[in-house]
Chain A
Amino acid sequence: MNKLGTAMAVCAESSPLLRPLQKTGRYRETLVEQQIQSLLSCTAVEFRRRLRVKDRSADDYLREETLVYFLRERQHAGDTHAAGEIARLLVERSAGFLARNLTCWRQLAPHQVEDCLRDAQMRMIQDLFSEDAQCEFWEVRFWLCLKRRLLNCVARYNRTADNEIHPEPPPESAGAPGDWWETRLSDAAPTPHECAELGEALSLLSERERQVFVLYHAERWTQQEIAQQLQITDRTVRNILGRAEARLQQWRQTGVP
């Protein structure tokens, strides 16, 4: 089975009581199906009790995918109030994740971080309330859908921030392998400190610089391969790489981007 197939075929069989997913061959996780099943037959009081469980490790803690299912069920049944309550819970649960994942993009100005947060939340809310089959994956992998929406928003704002950067001329050594970076990028199990350092360093780069830098140093693509894939010239690849390396070098030496 290919990789895409593995991610879709999460559970072997769906219960006939549940609203099936619209995409053929895709299933919810077993735990999510079990949770939905149990909630379909429980009382309103029990349902509310389970919504209030906040301990993620508790057996009766409801998974986000389960909540999305019931949000859409309530919305479909015209019970906007209940759907809103579930959405409220999902907003609260996702806030920490969004805040943590946004503050690491050091290239973004504080007002851009706020705008980006609002955009990502709006996108999430729109998708959660959508009956469109294109928003179905939220019921299969909530956190990954949220992460992708967030990355899309960050990319958009990063491009705006990129336009505000005035790059310096690249040094002649552009493209020379940098031991420090290659060691960390290729390390399968970096220490938390190394991981944080690497993430922080790469977040200082523009979107294009980060792409070229990672493709060259982590994925070991040649400059010609990068140029071909990104549809730019070899010389531009060299320039971008040189600029990225110079900025990271400066950051390592002075702590200033």
Chain B
Amino acid sequence: MRQINEDERDALFAAWMEDRESAVPAPLGEWVERYPDCAGELISWAADAPVLNAAERRSPDAEAEQKAIASGLQTLARFLQPLDSLLGEARARGRSPKALAEEINISPTLLARLQQRLIAAGSIPDTLVAGLSSALGRSTSVIREYLARPAMLAQSASYKSDRVPQAASQESFLHAVLSAPDLTETQRQYWLDQGHAP
């Protein structure tokens, strides 16, 4: 059976709420029968409805609203703040580089190359940018802006040279996927399929 996605769940919730407010709402059993994949959610919505109805009739609490505004604006400011480091941001959210790589379905090596911006930003698929945005709690434009900056040197590297060290040249995402040694074959195939349409 096809999995229902978030967007369809939103539409279902809207339909459910609309029906519940109608003169003769359909019994919960009918909804569950029609949308068995969402049975758990439908039951939760039915159980939570009396609590929410009571909440909506409450008089506004100015102090709680001000606190909520402050909290929301703080979250928004952080969401839009420029990013200094993908891995640093992940650590600040309690995730190791390995955990972040797993969450966005790439390998640690590929993540390290993204961190150092060794992959041409224009070739990185939107799905990967969206995954990073979701995992790091930053907007896609902030992530794109980070990835579009010039390549950087590895922070842990040390150099002995008469010349100023230069970062390696950037490669395309597809090339990076093909050459990453620690990507699983499933991951490689997934990103090869995604990679052609950034």
Contacts and interface: CB of A to CB of B under 8 A. Distances in A.
A155 B68 contact: no
Given A98-B68, A192-B57, A122 B137 contact: yes
Contacts of B49: 214
A176 interface: no
Interface stretch (A11-19, A142-150, A163-171): A142-150
Contact of B50 (A26, A155, A202): A202
Given A4-B15, A219-B27, A118 B57 contact: no
A80 B29 CA distance: 46
B14 interface: yes
Is chain A's binding surface mostly helix, strand, loop or mixed?
A: helix
Interface in B127-144: 130, 133-134, 137, 139-141
A112 to B, nearest CB: 14
A92 interface: yes
Given A6-B15, A215-B46, A91 B10 contact: no
Interface stretch (A38-46, A53-61, A100-108): A100-108
A101 B43 CA distance: 19
Contact of B44 (A3, A6, A125, A155): A155
A218 B15 contact: no
B69 A122 contact: no
Interface residues of B, number: 61
A126 B134 contact: yes
A134 B6 CA distance: 6
Given A3-B18, A210-B48, A219-B28, A195 B80 contact: no
Contact of A195 (B10, B57, B65): B57
A129 interface: yes
A230 B44 CA distance: 11
B79 A125 contact: yes
A135 interface: yes
B11 interface: yes
B115 to A, nearest CB: 21
A199 to B, nearest CB: 2
16 contacts: A4-B12, A78-B141, A129-B133, A131-B130, A141-B14, A151-B48, A197-B54, A198-B50, A199-B54, A202-B50, A207-B44, A207-B47, A214-B47, A215-B43, A218-B50, A219-B46
Interface of B: 5-7, 9-19, 26-29, 31-32, 34, 39, 43-58, 60-61, 64-69, 71-73, 75-76, 79-80, 126, 130, 133-134, 137, 139-141
